[in-house]
Structure 1
Amino acid sequence: METNHLFSLQVGNNRVWDYVRDNYVHRLLQSEGDGKVVSYERTSPVSDTKEELVQGEEKLTALQLEYTHLLSSQLESQRQYFENKITEAQAEAWHEAEESKEAVKKLSEEMQEIKQELAFVTREKVTLDKKINQLNSKLAKVSKDLETEQELNLSMRQGKQEWVSKVVKLESVVKQKDQKIAELESQVSDVMAHLEALSTVNCNPELQGGQVYIPNENSKPQGARRKHRK
């Protein structure tokens, strides 16, 4: 009591002595499984007898064993639970990793296909650009030829109108000449008839001294009138 401590711990069994109440008040038990300390307190303030102490020791030992078994089973259950969780997490992570690998492989294949298609499209574009340039050149040439042809057609239409006008004039001139030719042919026919009549008169002495009349063009032919000398 010189140290003014109210409690003291008995070495060996971890029992605590209360100097005020002059008895053991509680006991500290250490678990064999995890080493944790468990307190035990008596309910009776009466001093322990030897038999009570033995019974208390047995009960405490049984309680300690039960607690240790319960704690061990709980720890084992927790260990299995977390091991299962770890296994599931590992399996899920492995599955996700495999899926990621497959996705990366698929993306790589798609990228390769896209690169090939891009190269093909680029070549096609170059070819199409060349064809477009050629077509543009042909189109420019055709447009120029068309413009020239249109100008030529315009000139031809204008020339055609002039030639049509000239042809109409020529047809009119030809018609007039045909009329003159017809008149001249009629006159020539009359002259030939007159000459033939003169030739007949000259060859026939009986008809000499007579006169030959040439009928008009519009009159009916009546033949030559002959007059004899009286």
Structure 2
Amino acid sequence: MATSGGEDPSGSASSSASALDSLPFSSGNPRIEETRGVVLLHPEPPAASSSSLLPVGRKPRVCVPGVPNHLTYADFGRFCASWASHILETRIIRIDGVEDQYGVLIKFDTQSFTDSFYMSFNGNRFSSLEGNVCRVRFVEDVHYTQLIEHAHSSVTSSAEQPTCPVCLERLDQDPGGILTTICNHSFHYSCMSKWADSSCPVCRYCQQEPEKSSCSVCGTSENLWICVICGHVGCGRYKGGHAIEHWKETQHCYSLELETQKVWDYAGDNYVHRLIQSKTDGNLVEYNFYGDHSVDGMCPTCNGDAGISEALLDSKMEAIVEEYNDLVTSQLEKQRNYYESLLLEVKEDNEKEIAAATEKAVGIKVQKLQAKLDKCMEETGFLNDIHENLVKNMEMWRERIQKVKEREQAAIRLKDEKIEKLEEELRDLIAHFERQNTVAEASESMSSDINGSTILSVPSESSASSNSSIRN
């Protein structure tokens, strides 16, 4: 349970444990097997805050301690039908000291639905015509203290039932949860909701305790006889003799002894009941003796021992046959569980082998892919080196080409300059030749005019410069 920060954990745990209420209970068929235990309940909240204050550290398990005996399993199932899909387990218990009521232990799947169930049903009536009020208590824990096994108990009754006796399906396949009756037989909740009787479908044990009868005249509860004609209850002749007095007054000659369930005929003064209840297993066996008795079965000289012995022998034989059938059933169930375990082991081994083979194949494939990846990485590195070298060579050739272009451009410029100079010199030379021709023509014409005269030519600046350039 939760503790606050400033408290001692051990002290709080001890105080919380001491605050829990203990509810002793029992379950099982008293003729065969009986289980005893104690339910630890959280204390009820105060009346003013019962609808809002919930116990701290509660668990998804509640107890309904006061369910009337006349409410069958189906009636209680309809009472809490809206929460049936969230119920994991329901167990019917017999509360010590309470005769006309039984308790119900309910386990839910979540805490929220447990709180909702508590809020919805705590303090409400089971029906509009019912005077009893439903009380819901939170359960802290359930302790089983004692297991009482009686003689001639069958194996089937004490062993856990793997399947539902009604629908023969496995108990863990129903979403509505499991219902365990007061005789410790487990069923599907949905199967028991259709069972209108308060008895168990397997052993017919009824959760309703039989009412204690008493003599209608003196009120004693020992050696009672009931008239099978009118139902009058009276005591035997060794108590008050009111049963035989009733026969004398009414002439109702048949009377049933409540303890042994045998019918006495007052007129014939003998037992006429042919079926008695065996004390070994509770089954009805045939009683084959019809001897005379002088009293209500209390005669000390009764010679009906042979019939009783025969009936007990038949009952023992039936018990042996039933026990043998139960033993065979249990052995077959063990064999089925054994072979199911073998199949489960084989399935697990196959799964392990498949997983190992898959892991091995994946490892081999990963190794191959890793080798291919390493090879590709190596080739990628080689190609990267070649690329770097090619890039360096390309840069170097670009520089060389640029230098060649620059030299070509410089040579072209020099050539253009030379061509321009030569063209200028050519033009000057052509002009010089033209002037010389002009001067020669002019000199010839003048010579014809001036006879005997000599004309001296004066060199011009252009001719001097041209001559000097030619010499150069």
CA offsets per residue over residues 124-165 of structure 1, 9 Å max, x none? Answer: 322332332233222212212222322332343344334333
Q: Structure 1 residues 165, 84: closer, same or farther in 2, change over 3 A?
A: farther
Q: Give 1:36 shift.
A: 5.0
- Distance verdict in 2 for CA 1:161–1:75, change over 3 Å: farther
Aligned 1:203-218 pairs, distance under 5 A:
none
Letter in 2 for 1:29: S
Q: Residues of 1 paired with 2:361 and 2:391: CA distance?
A: 44
Please report how far the alpha carbon of residue 178 of structure 1 lies from its aligned counterpart in structure 2 after TM superposition: 4.3
**Equivalent residue, structure 2, for 1:135:** 394
Q: Equivalent residue for 1:29?
A: 153
Q: Does 1:63 align with 2:322?
A: yes
Q: Does 1:81 align with 2:328?
A: no
Residue 108 in structure 1 maps to residue 108 in structure 2:
no
Q: In 2, distance between residues paired with 1:144 and 1:125?
A: 29
Of 113-122 and 76-85, deviating more is 76-85
SS at match of 1:29: coil
Which residue of structure 2 aligns with residue 157 of structure 1?
A: 416
Query: 2:428 corresponds to which residue?
Result: 169
Greater percentage in strand: 2
Q: Amino acid of the residue matched to residue 420 of structure 2?
A: Q
1:106-128 CA distances to partner (integer Å, 9 max, x unpaired)?
Answer: 11011112112222322332233
Give the aligned residue type for 2:153. L
For 1:42, the equivalent position in structure 2 comes to 282
Per-residue CA shift, 1:195-226, capped at 9, x if unaligned?
A: xxxxxxxxxxxxxxxxxxxxxxxxxxxxxxxx
Measure the CA separation in 1 of the matches of 2:367 and 2:397: 45
Quote the sequence identity (%).
9
Normalising to structure 1: TM-score of the pair? 0.55
SS at 2:153's partner residue? strand
1:28 to partner: Cα distance: 4.4
1:122 and 2:381 correspond: yes
**Displacement after TM superposition at 1:54 (Å):** 1.8
Match of 1:93?
Answer: 352
Taking structure 2 as the reference length, the TM-score comes to 0.29
Structure with higher RCO (Cα < 8 A, 6+ apart): 2
CA distance in structure 2 between the partners assigned to 1:27 and 1:180 by the alignment: 172
Partner Cα distance (2:340, 2:403) in 1: 90
Gaps of at least 5 residues in structure 2 are 1-31, 35-149, 161-183, 185-202, 204-279, 288-306, 452-472
Distance 2:373 2:357 in 1: 24
Say if 1:54 and 1:164 are closer, same or farther in 2 by CA, change over 3 A: farther
Select the structure of larger CA radius of gyration: 1
Q: d(CA) in 2 for partners of 1:58 and 1:177?
A: 172
Higher helix share goes to which structure? 1
Displacement after TM superposition at 1:56 (Å): 2.0
Query: Structure 1: which 5+ residue stretches go unaligned?
Result: 1-13, 17-25, 195-230
- What displacement does 1:59 show? 1.5
